[in-house]
Chains A and B, each alone.
Chain A
Amino acid sequence: MIKAGIIGLGKMGLSHAAIVAPHPDVDMVAVCDTSSLVLDAFKKFSKVNTYTDYVKMIDSENLDCVVVATPTRFHYPIVKYALEKGIHTFCEKPFSLTLKEGEEMTSAAKSRQLVNQVGYHNQFIGTFRELKRLLKTGILGELFHFTGEAYGPVVVKEKGGTWRSDPAEGGGCLFDYASHVINLVQEVMGKPVKARGTMLKKIYSKEVEDAVFSMLTLESGLTGVLQVNWSDETYRKMSTSLTIQGKKGKIICDATEIKIYLKERNEKENLDKGWTIKYITEFAIPVNFYLRGEEYSAQIDNFIGCILNKKQSEINTFEQALYTDKVIELLIEDSKKK
């Protein structure tokens, strides 16, 4: 059995804990948070050991792996300490607030050959995987434009308060929402290398941006638009989509469906001329335990599977997440240009 600990018990940390604990190959032995309220609930109703100090937890529990789901600014010291102790590490997104810290964490994981993964869960959604596969076949011919979008109702009125409203802590739509779309563009279509015309717009928030608009150029030369807004209450929850256009057709893809338009029939893929719509029911990754979406369990299954099989994850590595951080930095720099 793999011994696991969870550090940070906010919304994502609790969700990870509830997925890690029932995993058949894992013994979740400890959790750590600074909130005595949450820890007391664990003390009262569960058998795991509780800690307020991650150093103490790591030193006393002999863990094989940790999940780090604290606010972003704490990732660096915690991840570094875990890696120094030889512990495989899953870290929530966004990965780091400064590239220097991100680079240190990435090289520490590499040099110690520890399994490292970041929680960009869209990579584990079946429809986006299918999109990536289809694009690799060249089905759309020469590509000329893409759009990466995400909308949701996180900040829909004026307020201040939590760490999400502090730019120094990685709050804001760019780090929280747009990072998902950037990561998806990067892994499905190719690395963005240039940003132009970036606007970080405040709508309701005072300190951080609520919307991100930018023109991206990818390594391949393909250009497209990034459009993300977390202050759109016409969406019940976060909705992420990618649209890609080529000379032979177009694909629109979100977490529930993939819509393919082809100018001519594709024999190899058995796709007709015109529109074909396929649903997540066809592509969802089967999981043993479900909470909020297959992708959350599938990413943990991947992490645990890599530890068991003594191999590195190919999906959502620290290195990939660090690249996403670099693109975030490109956008911030570009937005400052007059």
Chain B
Amino acid sequence: MMDKVLFGDNQFFAVNHLSDEKSREQAIRFKDDSTIIRVLDQARETGINTFMCTTHDRIANICDHMRANPEKYKDFKIFPCMPYAHKYANAVTDLGIIGTIKQYVPGNIFSTFTKGGVAFLTKDFIGLMQLLVDAEMKMFKGISTPVIFLQNVVVDMILGLKMLDVFREYDDYIRKKYNSEPGYITMNMPALLDALNSVGIENPVICSSINKIGFRMSGGKAVYEKYLNERTFRPIAMQVLAAGALKPREAIEYLAQFPKIESVLFGASSKGHIQETKELIEKAMN
């Protein structure tokens, strides 16, 4: 079982879906890693033991801090979410696809052969995916990562392009190499669950927006509710406050209708908010 409450990282990295202005304020507040660690420790003090975070460069520093204080963080788990897409997106604009691969993938995955005097590339896409996963996972060495997520931009891109075997390969690799549960973040939960089932991935961990006003619930709230009631999977609810449009109490009361929701992901920057939201979730959803 995953913890009921998962602590997110958007507030640390200037991600605010409601206000560009607030996101800049956050960037200023969390300039130093020590400020992030202080808030993480406050979350830990309220009894939260799972941090779900992107593989942002700065998370590597947080991991260093955890490894340096093993006793303090012995029960603490991280759910990594990869990749940190902006890093690659900016690189693709700058260097092109091949240039980006060269920059981020160790060794030369695309070997060049000569056949009849003509050079050609052999393309090991699955090998490339595995190398990228390993590169992103490097910073978590020695830290417990029971669930490893693919970020929504990548999940939804693969889903849209219908390259579903990639999910199968990712799933197998995470289980085999890391002995962890593969997880999927998506803005298209019903379509993703159908797709994963179609390539034999059963009862997957899926993290998606679930909120009373249907914000970022593609295809509409009704189909999400139907899947939450009728289908077999392990849902994590995110964007439960609809980027701040909902009050915590009404937001959590909505989630409580769906006993299948295994965990709720939320982020906050003050101890009071963290404590309040955690208690609301645990009271309403246990």
Contact = CB atoms under 8 A, between A and B. Distances in A.
A279 B18 CA distance: 6
Given A281-B242, A290-B218, A41 B19 contact: no
Interface in A1-58: 10-11, 14-15, 17-19, 21-22, 35-38, 40-42, 44-47
Interface in A61-77: none
Contacts of B163: 41-42, 45-46
A7 to B, nearest CB: 16
Contacts of A288: 218-219
Interface stretch (B87-95, B229-237, B254-262, B275-283): B87-95
A308 interface: no
Interface stretch (A116-124, A157-165, A186-194, A326-334): A157-165
B95 A161 contact: yes
B278 to A, nearest CB: 24
Interface stretch (B58-66, B132-140, B152-160): B152-160
Given A18-B156, A19-B160, A35-B97, A279 B165 contact: no
B118 to A, nearest CB: 12
A15 B157 contact: yes
A234 B24 contact: yes
B86 to A, nearest CB: 7
Given A234-B24, A257-B19, A281-B245, A17 B213 contact: no
Contact of B121 (A37, A282, A292): A37
A243 to B, nearest CB: 13
Given A35-B97, A279-B243, A291-B187, A256 B20 contact: yes
Given A14-B157, A279-B244, A236 B218 contact: no
B156 A290 contact: yes
Interface string A261-300: 0000000000000000001111010111111100001000
A290 B93 contact: no
Contacts of B153: 291-292
Interface string A221-243: 00000000000001011010100
Contact of A37 (B123, B159, B187): B123
Bin chain B's interface residue count. Answer: 35 or more
A221 B191 CA distance: 50
Contacts of A257: 18-21
B160 A11 contact: no
Given A37-B97, A234-B24, A11 B166 contact: no
B15 interface: yes
Interface in B62-97: 86, 89-90, 92-97
B220 A286 contact: yes
Contacts of B15: 236
Interface in B237-277: 242-245
A319 interface: no
Nearest to B16: A256
A236 B86 contact: yes
Contacts of A42: 161, 163
A254 interface: yes
Ranked nearest first, the 8 interchain pairs of A and B with the lowest CB-CB distance are A18-B160, A45-B163, A290-B187, A281-B245, A290-B218, A291-B156, A18-B157, A18-B161
Given A159-B94, A234-B27, A256-B18, 8 more contacts: A17-B160, A18-B157, A35-B97, A37-B97, A154-B90, A236-B14, A236-B15, A279-B18
